[in-house]
Amino acid sequence: MSKTRFVLASAVLALGSATAFAQTATPRADTREAVQEKRIQQGVDSGTLNAPEARRLNRQQGVVDNMQDRAKADGDVSAAERAKIHRAQKRTADNIRDQKHDRNTAR
């Protein structure tokens, strides 16, 4: 009987620890978001981004942030959700690069 209790208790602990490690953190996405916000601000400061471009890029960053919040809402960020966030961040990064290197400037 004690062996059965031990096995049952071990199973409960294993199940509990598995749910305790649910993937809700998105450190890569958070770091990338901070870097991209810095790039936008640097573009504004240097004059390579004009005000409308910066607003558009910041709005796009906000959309990605909302995607992260929705993904985290259920307590688990799935691989598919992570991939979707990554694609959206890539699109934003590409847009930042394109806008910083186009002929439109603040000056």
pLDDT digits (tens, 9 = 90+) for 7-32: 666 666 665 544 445 567 788 888 99
Q: Which single residue is written with the structure tokens 């409308």?
A: 52
Task: Give the 3-state DSSP-derived string for 41-82, with helices as H, strands as E and coil as C.
Answer: HHHHHHCCCCHHHHHHHHHHHHHHHHHHHHHHHCCCCCHHHH
Task: Report CA-CA distances (Å) from 86 to 32, 55, 62.
Answer: 9, 21, 14
Higher pLDDT, 41 or 25: 41
CA 14 – CA 19 distance, rounded (Å): 9
Higher pLDDT, 82 or 11: 82
Tens of pLDDT, residue by residue over 43-68, are 999 999 999 999 999 999 999 999 99
Are 103 and 50 in contact, with CB atoms under 8 Å apart? no
Res 2: pLDDT:
64
